[in-house]
Amino acid sequence: MLEKLSEEIKNAMRAKDKLRLQTLRSMMNDLKNAGIEKKGKKGLTDEVASPAEYLDNDEMVKVLQGAAKRRREAVEQYVSGGRPELAEQEDKELAILQEFLPAALSEDELRALVQNAIEAIGASSMADMGKVMKEVQPQVAGRADGKAVSAVVRELLQ
């Protein structure tokens, strides 16, 4: 992922695409900061070219999902605040970010995963929602929003 991101930064610089370049650099910065944080917590001492190299692919996806979530929230705030031009910019940045995230699950795929988990656990009521969520979350990591998963679990358990 780091190689792809570096290559895309170079392409954006060549194309003089300021918004894309700014967004890609922001993503790289988020990954580097997460790598530095991990290095500090784990006490890692070996030298690598970039602190982001301390992260595995799943950790990188989580960092980028956090950045995407921040942009979605910003779009909502700008729309409610009457600033459509800023909401549009955040939306464009979100589109660039999503190029690096795994493809999202469709509603039907999500329902099927949740239904399989409910059957596997033998869940029958809302009291089992936590068990179902615990089973489903690792399967949908990076491909579905927690709120969407929760809504489907809630719907199928009622």
- Over residues 73-108, the pLDDT tens digits come to 999 999 999 999 999 999 999 999 988 888 878 888
Can you give the residue range of the structural domain that contains 46? 2-98
Count of structural domains within the chain: 2
Which pLDDT belongs to residue 75? Answer: 94
Is residue 101 classed as helix, strand or coil in its secondary structure? coil
Start-to-end CA distance of the chain, whole Å, equals 40
Which CATH number is 59's domain given?
A: 1.10.1510.10
How much is the mean pLDDT over the chain? 85
C-alpha 1: how far from chain center: 14
Q: What per-residue confidence (pLDDT) applies to 8? A: 92
Asked whether 125 and 134 are in contact (CB, 8 A), the reply is no
Give the pLDDT confidence of 126-153 residue by residue, as tens digits. Answer: 888 888 888 888 888 777 777 888 888 8
Pair (127, 86) in one structural domain: no
What is the domain-level CATH number for residue 122?
1.10.10.410
Measure the CA–CA gap between 66 and 6, rounded to whole angstroms.
Answer: 20
The yes-or-no verdict on residue 49 having pLDDT over 70 is no
Q: At what angle do helices 129-140 and 146-157 cross, to 10 degrees?
A: 140
